[in-house]
Chains A and B, each alone.
Chain A
Amino acid sequence: MLKIENLHVKLEEEDKQILKGIDLHVPYGEVHAIMGPNGSGKSTLSYVLSGRDGYEVTEGSAQLEGEDLLDLEPEERAAAGLFLAFQYPVEIPGVGNMTFLRTAVNAQRKARGEEELSAGDFLKAVRAKAKTLKIDSEMLKRPVNVGFSGGEKKRNEILQMAMLEPKMCILDETDSGLDVDAMKLVSEGVNALRGPDRGFLVITHYQRLLDHIKPDVVHIMANGRIVKSGGPELALEVETNGYGDIIGEVA
């Protein structure tokens, strides 16, 4: 599903190489975790895949279902089925959460040549999905992420993901700022979306999120490269010994 080959990325504004040859393949139905110390390039990878400005790809490729992602605008990547759950979801005062969600859902449907959802169908779908994430109607009415707690913001990200039904979901440090209960709720939301047609890339600093969202493969990233890949036991190794051993071992 998601195939990244030899991806090299530098900052656009300065001569600083962030990713130095990433190779990664997430097959259909699998959950891959990327762990690594601060500054290893995890978030950069998520931004480059979703098309944020400020980065320059100097080498390599990234494909979603065989389609080259890197030439597409961010909204085209979304329509192609890519979704990024932000580490810091953005507050948009004055734009209702519902309005935003509906605009996004219908923009994607339109881009894919599908019919737009009617107001009634949309409302029904949102209410059902919001309920499982314990998002009340008051939160749906409020401006996007304004006045939301950290946990509410992350739940709102998962609600967007559930409504947009992407093929490939990237979760960027979704566990940051969450207490145990919120992490459970968010994880349940993610797990409900797992399926044979969908892939996940879960970026996290800590192992604890992976207790709830069980990965098939764990990659350790350091200094712009994936230095080690393995099963879920790799995450436990990090938890026990820290990154030092693994990174040192490879170097």
Chain B
Amino acid sequence: MVSEAKKKATEDRLSALTLPQGNGWLDAARKDALGRLRAVGLPAKRDEYWRFTDPSALVATAPAVEGAQAAADPFAELDPFVITVDGDAITVPDGAPEGLEIDTLRAASAVDIHWVRDVYGTHEAAGSRPVLRPLAMLNTAYATDGLLLRVKGAVARPVAIRYTPGTDPILHHVVKLEPGASLVLLESGTSGDRSNHVLEADLADDASFHHLRIQGPDDLRHVNTHVFAGLSARSVLKSFTLSANGALTRNEAVIEMTGDDGSATVAGAAFGRGAFHHDDTVFVTHDALNCESRQVFKKVLRDGATGVFQGKILVKEGAQKTDGYQISQSLLLDDDSVFLAKPELEIYADDVACSHGSTTGAIDETALFYLRSRGVSKRDATDMLVLSFLAEALDEIEDEALREHVTARLAGWLAEH
């Protein structure tokens, strides 16, 4: 039952939006999502998965604050194939890397037969059960554009999506990896004062998808993102997010492992201060044999910042030999900051190894003294220990060059404080 208040909040929000017009198949997908959304309503503070994060700024008819800022491209040195997204205006340059077909949702909506038809909204719809993802439903219904990447082989050059701020964008990307295909996708920049992003990733057998995202370092943005990934046999997903600053960030990852011997890693490092509120909500479903999943999340919080982690591993009946791992840790740099964690395991198979842990701690005074006794200032020493704390999450970035690159960015941002 949707309460009257929720119904009203939902209709208020929808009245400020226009359902984009397009061809039959996309219209149908949008209306399906809209129907699902209306049946459950937009999130409210009392919903089970929103207790730690007040969704009102994400649900309101307009962004609460203005002030999203463009930042220098953190991936420029890696020479990726760059696709720019200015608000919701996508520019795809010529010369796409070999093995990759690039299209946009807007262009695809004009044609009757398109590969994305079988994918768009399907992983989102599957991932909205059993936990509701109403903001993702809203996204599927109202996304004005998005990138459609069809990966047919091993794409050697990384592809980068580079955002610059626009007005309240709703973007829906789809990545479809065919058997044996591989892609490295980078995302960086801020798409708006408030943004709603969905990324659906469809991994066929033996496909490999590395997703590396940097959010920030601007202070005022309100962001909610969803990554929905479906993994077939022997496919590999690695998704890593570095979040620097920002007012409100809710990153959800919903992973379905339906093929045997798959491997999925979702990891993140986040740091912020003051009004910073950062929420990672992760749901990994094991529905096949011998799959491995890892959730590794670290947050550094100061000056009253809030960190949230809600992570779940669901092992379905028959998903034997599952190896599930989950860790969430926070480093609180003062007494005012808060970390809220809700780790969950739900297991219906008897031959599995699943472990989870969550810790909250302060800076190690002995280590701080050790560094300072060598002449390093208190501030620099603290930054070093912050970096040291986040390193374990950064280690989840498999590619050494990428890892070092992200670490250097992070070190630079810490030093700017």
Contacts and interface: CB of A to CB of B under 8 A. Distances in A.
A74 B371 CA distance: 9
Interface in B345-400: 364-367, 369-378, 380-381, 384-385, 387-392, 394
Contacts of A160: 374
Nearest to A160: B374
A51, A89, A104, most chain B CB atoms within 10 A: A104
A28 to B, nearest CB: 21
Contacts of A89: 370
Nearest to A104: B374
B388 A104 contact: no
B377 A75 contact: yes
Interface residues of B, number: 25
B346 to A, nearest CB: 32
A71 interface: no
Contact of B367 (A74, A84, A92): A92
Interface residues of A, number: 29
Nearest to B407: A94
A107 B380 contact: yes
Interface in A46-100: 50-53, 73-75, 77-79, 83-84, 86, 89-90, 92-95, 100
Nearest to A76: B375
A84 B373 CA distance: 7
A103 interface: yes
Contacts of A86: 370, 373
Contacts of A73: 372, 378
Nearest to A92: B388
A94 B388 contact: yes
Given A52-B369, A53-B369, A89-B370, A94 B376 contact: no
A92 to B, nearest CB: 5
A164 B371 CA distance: 13
B361 to A, nearest CB: 14
A57 B145 CA distance: 67
B376 A104 contact: yes
A177 to B, nearest CB: 17
A108 interface: yes
A108 B385 contact: no
B199 to A, nearest CB: 28
A108 B375 contact: yes
Contacts of B366: 90
Contacts of B373: 50-52, 74-75, 77-78, 83-84, 86
A111 interface: yes
Given A53-B365, A86-B370, A94-B394, A111 B387 contact: no
Nearest to A105: B375
B374 A164 contact: yes
A94 B390 contact: yes
Interface string B10-49: 0000000000000000000000000000000000000000
Among B373, B389, B392, which residue has the most Cβ atoms of chain A within 10 A?
A: B373
Contacts of A51: 369, 372-373
B393 to A, nearest CB: 10
A160 B366 CA distance: 17
Contact of A111 (B371, B375, B394): B375
Contacts of B388: 92-95, 143
Given A103-B376, A164-B375, 20 more contacts: A74-B373, A75-B377, A77-B373, A83-B373, A84-B373, A90-B366, A90-B370, A92-B384, A92-B385, A94-B390, A94-B391, A95-B391, A100-B374, A103-B384, A104-B374, A105-B375, A107-B375, A107-B376, A107-B380, A143-B391
Interface of A: 50-53, 73-75, 77-79, 83-84, 86, 89-90, 92-95, 100, 103-105, 107-108, 111, 143, 160, 164
- 10 closest A-B pairs by beta carbon, nearest first, are A94-B391, A78-B375, A108-B375, A74-B372, A104-B374, A94-B388, A90-B370, A107-B375, A75-B372, A90-B367
